[in-house]
Chains A and B, each alone.
Chain A
Amino acid sequence: MFRNQYDTDVTVWSPEGRLLQVEYAMESVKQGSACIALRSSTHAVIGALKRSVSELSSHQQKILQIDDHLGIGIAGLTADARTLAKWMRNECLNHKYVYGTALPSGRLANDLADRHQRTTQTYVRRPYGVGLLLAAFDRNGPHVYQTCPSGNIYECYGTAIGARSQSGRTYLEKHADSFGTCGREELIMHAVRALVGCVGGDGELTVENGSVAVVGKDEKFTLIEGEELQPYLDRLEMEGGNNGGGGDAEGDGGDDMET
């Protein structure tokens, strides 16, 4: 019987030069519900689909605020994300105490990626099974970063991770050229439209399962959920576009291990 011997430990290279445990951790990101993010020249927006385990339960939390100027959307093991969020909040507070200013998001994103990487090189800890989208507005303008369990990090104009995120990403890619000049409202609408594509089967984007957050020039990180999301869904309805992605059932989103 052939069993892959190289895929049970993070510290073992396969003969092809791959790290299978890390690649598996990347898979867990694809299991999580979708999360998208995009930015204009003044704002950054995160959108996410929240799951609930049953009719009787609340929906999960997909977008976490880290600081006034920064928040994350998550896909994958949410418990792992909480640990990371706690650490990130701490980093931001420390920076504010020491320097009196907001932590530059690029620095935080890089430190976060390094934190991911370290788990892939030591035997004692498993990789974090979560992908993060970071939306921030700092002194260098708005930013969107994507991190992976492998420790790879991308700064993007728009991106999507999690289950069925491919159609969301396709939507974003199609409209990416126009994001730069978008106003706040238009950018949120783009997020909502991209999200709709990620809804599974005959599902719908609703005030319960939808979640959007925005941060930008003169605007602190703000969650838009529940009733506050309704106007955007109404607008979507007017455009006639709130049916789930349906056909595009194949989940994707995480990138391949980039070498």
Chain B
Amino acid sequence: MASSGSGYDLSSSTFSPDGRIFQIEYASKAVENAGTALGLRCRDGIVLCVEKPLVHKMLVSETTGRRIHTVDSHSGVAITGFVSDGRQIVGRARDEAANYLETYGTTIPPEVLTSRISSYVHYFTLHGALRPFGASTLVAAYDPGTKEHSLHMVEPSGVSYEYYGCSAGRGRQSARTEMEKLAINPKQGEGELIDVQEAVKQLAKIIYTLYDESKDKPFELEMSWLCEGSGWRHEGVPKDVIASAVEWAKKEIEEAEEEDDDEMEE
């Protein structure tokens, strides 16, 4: 790597001669090596989905290394990267939401929540005495004022965008390609957009498509939604729904593989 050894990459308060801040790029690397996190905005809500690696056999998986957290009654986030960094962001997000409610008496709107998180994350890219967060944050939120739901993602640089579908972590690129095939973008006008039930299945399929049993660590799927059906509250997708989605996904993948094999034979 050209940056290495130049001396311009040792602090986030240092620009390189060509105007880059390498420390932020390195922090992003930490996210790129982590479990895949996906977010999908559907017709009737948002689904968050994270691949949570299980580091050893004796873990209580429901409470350990959680990557999806509730922030407020109408918002939740999924994080990936350094989970311990992510928890810090989650804590800040909760404070922001609670303070907004205290000050203005209404639930924090999604874009305000996102921009507050962005500012916080960005602050850590400005100082030599701090380091950028090694975590990306997917923000699913509902605005009871406008009755709109939206999905945002905040990156380690502090940059954030709104998405129909977004991904972070190891499988982000292939996942994006897969998500682009789904009917989630109203601009493409592919008729009816998918609903959260369908999204849960599709996201499970994407995660399992990317997973290589021989190479990757065993993992658990963590999923949450925020939708009409949940009264626009952020809650865990019921375990039986996840289980049947996984079952469906595995079958789909198997069938696709068989088809491939058949084609090869022909």
Contacts and interface: CB of A to CB of B under 8 A. Distances in A.
A6 B83 CA distance: 21
A46 B124 CA distance: 38
Interface stretch (B84-92, B109-117, B237-245): B84-92
A156 B59 contact: yes
B100 interface: no
Nearest to B27: A13
Contacts of A53: none
Nearest to B169: A259
A114 B30 contact: no
Nearest to B32: A17
A110 B84 CA distance: 10
Contacts of A113: 84, 87
A40 B3 CA distance: 51
Contacts of A159: 56, 58
Q: What band does the interface of chain B fall in when counting residues whose beta carbon is under 8 Å from A?
A: 35 or more
Nearest to B28: A17
Q: Is the interface of B mostly helix, strand, loop or mixed?
A: loop
A114 B23 contact: no
B63 A122 contact: no
B65 A13 contact: no
B65 A154 contact: yes
A106 B63 contact: yes
A117 B91 CA distance: 12
Nearest to B129: A123
B57 A122 contact: no
B87 A110 contact: yes
B88 A16 contact: no
Contact of A258 (B3, B26, B58, B65): B65
Nearest to B133: A121
Interface in A7-30: 9-19
Contacts of A116: 84
26 contacts: A5-B10, A6-B10, A11-B11, A11-B131, A16-B26, A16-B29, A16-B33, A17-B27, A17-B30, A17-B33, A19-B134, A114-B87, A114-B88, A117-B88, A121-B85, A122-B129, A152-B65, A153-B64, A154-B64, A156-B64, A158-B58, A255-B55, A258-B53, A258-B65, A259-B81, A259-B134
